[in-house]
Chains A and B, each alone.
Chain A
Amino acid sequence: MMRRFAYMYMLLLLLIACGARPAAAERLVVSLSNHRVQVTSNFVGEDLVLFGSVEPDNKQSTLRSSYDLVVTVTGPRETFRTRRKGRVLGIWVNANSREFVHVPSYLAILSNRPVTAITNEETRLRLQIGLDNFLLPQRIGPDIADTVRNDPYRVAFVRLKSDQGLYRESAKAVTFLTPTVFRVAIPLPAAAPTGSYAIDVKLFAGGALVARTNSALEVIKTGFEQYVADAAADYGLLYGIATAIMALFIGWFASVIFRRD
């Protein structure tokens, strides 16, 4: 009895799935110009390019005439403290602070036109489209939660990150070369933290999300920079001794070549 029910239920689900599939169904095909960004000693930032096209999901489905695209790139998650200076005894000191827990160290929300024109507010909130709608949880007392958009600490955090080029919202970064082929410019500033970055590509048509895909990239320090950073982090004591020896050597060398007595 139970088994028959289960079969029928599955059949029903299958029917719904087939029936619910719209005539226009599309999928996204994307390709990134470079999956591994290497930070070398002359790294001054890099612009990555993501190419992609909208494809029909199967032979029967057709494509619509126009699409919108929103690409969200999130860097490695980290915890930051936003501090506010206040006047104490006549001098300006860090008086208050809020901790932003597990938030992206890099965040870019890139689209072909302003996100407010692409979809309605409810969808933007649900899909975290736009810097205003992206969840930036703060530690408030024992709780961790996002606050209202105009919370001064949140505003300051987003502004400071934007000043560093690490947070950005651009309505010009996505270009449709043809109605179905697009190009996305992903700007990575020199200060881009190392680690893995997630790329979330969302396709909209008529204000509704119609397809979604993911990609990823990695920012790594290479060669000498990586070596120095690793050594400093993992072998602090040895690194310190090596630096001290280097200092003494330079000092000795200088005293030899500039010897006057």
Chain B
Amino acid sequence: MQIYLPIANLPVNVFLVLGMGLAVGFLSGMFGVGGGFLMTPLLIFVGISPAVVVASVSPQIAASLFSGFLAHWRRGTIDIVLGAMLLIGGTTGALIGVWLFTLLRAVDQLDLIIALSYVTLLSVVGVLMITEGLRAINRARHGERADLRRPGSHTWIHRLPLKMRFKRSRIYVSVIPVWVIGWIIGFLGAVLGVGGGFMLVPMLIYLLRVPTMTVIGTSMLLTLVTMVTATVMHAAADHLVDAPLALILMIGGVIGAQFGVRAGQNMRSEYLRLLLGVLVMLVGMRFALDLVIKPDDLYSIRHVRGG
């Protein structure tokens, strides 16, 4: 069944998009991430213009994050104060990200920047995840206990001024790195159409020593708000949010996530991380290939304006 997307201006098969939503939702439920880093490339490969994809994926990520957020809210595993501090950086980052997005689109380099950023980001994150996953599997095989971060081990980040106590997470840390992390995630989210959970969670754990109990819920608070901000901003500034597309993706996504969560519970977490790392790597490599291999068609057309 074909449906005509009013903003992307092309017909797509509903079941194809729904299926993609289900598949990505499944993976996002399994790994506990928003799934934007998979959804955006998939939609671009289907043939929807990258600009429309990035703008339309934001509300879809927001939907899947909100259902996760509510679950964490009920369990009380969200550090509101830390979340608010991250948000100060996050919303600023998202605003600047949307502004840069509009600018890059005007000079015809948006697609390139999206592709390049994906390659860099996904390769780095993928490699980190794979090595970390392999190490964890190795440890588990030798029966060692995971290398728990000692609370006393401080880095330069902990010597920064403007310290603040985050009671729920039981950390005492400067707000500067909190703002910076929030800013980076908000910025990347707006430019790349990713929630950024897959980067934010490791950052919060390794840089700020946020305990695992509050890290997922708190990261969801930030990514949820940046994705909502990005949706509104993209709609207001670029008029590129395709709501019907987002709706189909959302429906597929939330259903898929339910099965994904169940599948994830039956798997060992270190294998999950390794698998996620491999997946991230593969998507990154696909982007890299597109950039390096001589394209079949050197030419492309972009609609500039009516009249």
Chain B residue at smallest Cβ distance from A254 = B254
Interface size (A, Cβ < 8 Å)?
Answer: 65
Q: A42-B4, A239-B241, A240-B235 are in contact. Are A251 and B246 (CB under 8 A)?
A: no
How far in angstroms is the closest Cβ of chain A from B304? 4
A240 to B2, CA, bound (A): 25
Other-chain contact of B6, A84, A229, A242, A261 (Cβ < 8 Å): A229
A residues 66-94 touching B (CB-CB < 8 Å): 76-87, 90-94
B301 interface hit (Cβ, 8 Å): yes
Chain A residues within 8 Å of B63, by CB: 246-248, 250-251, 254
Is B159's CB within 8 Å of the partner chain A?
no
Nearest opposing residue in chain B for A105, CB measure: B303
Does A251 lie within 8 Å of B232, measured CB to CB? no
Shortest 8 CB-CB contacts between residues of A and residues of B: A240-B235, A251-B66, A156-B299, A254-B254, A240-B232, A255-B67, A247-B59, A247-B63
CB-based contact B11/A43 at 8 Å: yes
Quick check: A237 and B303 within 8 Å, CB to CB? no
Give per-residue flags for A145-161: 1 if the beta carbon is below 8 A from chain B beta carbons, else 0. 00000000100110111
Q: What residues on A are CB-neighbors of B297 within 8 Å?
A: 160
CB-CB nearest in chain A for B59: A247
B70 contacts A251, CB within 8 Å? Answer: yes
Whether A34 is near chain B, meaning CB under 8 Å from some CB there, is: no
Task: Decide if B145 is an interface residue (CB 8 Å cutoff).
Answer: no
Within 8 A of A (CB), among B80-137: 108-109, 111-112, 116
Decide if B268 is an interface residue (CB 8 Å cutoff): no
Give the shortest distance, in Å, between B252 (CB) and chain A (any CB): 11
B150 in the interface (beta carbon within 8 A): no
Whether B7 and A229, one on each chain, are in contact in the complex, defined by CB atoms closer than 8 angstroms, is yes
- B6 and A232 form a contact (CB under 8 A): yes
Which residue in A39, A160, A233 is a CB contact (below 8 Å) of B299?
A160
**Does residue B234 face the partner (Cβ distance < 8 Å to A)?**
yes
Once the chains are docked, how many angstroms separate the CA of A225 from the CA of B246? 14
Contacts of B1-33 to chain A: CB distance below 8 A:
1-4, 6-7, 9-11
User: Are A81's CB and B7's CB within 8 A?
Assistant: no
Report the bound CA distance from A53 to B266 in whole Å.
73
Tell whether A40 is near chain B: CB-to-CB under 8 Å.
Answer: yes
Give B258 Cβ to nearest chain A Cβ, in Å: 5
Q: Which residue of B lies closest to A94 (CB)?
A: B108
Q: Is B151 an interface residue (CB 8 A)?
A: no
Given contacts A77-B307, A81-B108, A225-B6, contact A243 B235 (CB under 8 A): yes
Cα-based distance from A253 to B250 in the complex (angstroms): 11
Contact (Cβ within 8 A) A247 B7? no
Partner of A240, one of B60, B234, B307: B234
Q: Which secondary structure characterizes the binding site on chain B?
A: helix
Q: Which residues of A contact B3 (CB under 8 A)?
A: 41-42
Residues of B contacting A233 in the complex (Cβ-Cβ under 8 angstroms): 239
B294 adjacent to chain A (CB < 8 Å): yes
What 0/1 readout, one digit per residue, does chain B (36-61) give for beta carbons within 8 Å of chain A? 00000000000000000000000110
Tell me the nearest residue of chain A to B71, going by C-beta.
A255
Sampled A-B contacts (30; CB under 8 Å): A40-B4, A42-B2, A78-B306, A79-B307, A83-B299, A83-B302, A91-B116, A91-B292, A92-B293, A94-B109, A94-B111, A156-B298, A160-B297, A191-B9, A191-B10, A228-B243, A232-B235, A237-B236, A239-B243, A240-B234, A240-B235, A240-B241, A243-B235, A243-B241, A244-B59, A244-B232, A246-B246, A246-B247, A248-B228, A251-B65
Interface presence of A97 (CB below 8 A): yes
**Are B300 and A160 within 8 A (Cβ)?**
yes
Q: Which among B60, B66, B304 is the interface contact of A252 at CB below 8 angstroms?
A: B66
Q: How far is the CB of B293 from chain A (nearest CB, A)?
A: 8
Q: For residue A259, which residues in chain B have a CB less than 8 angstroms away from its CB?
A: 71
- Other than the given A78-B307, A87-B294, 6 more pairs (CB < 8 A) read A79-B304, A160-B297, A229-B7, A232-B243, A241-B232, A251-B69
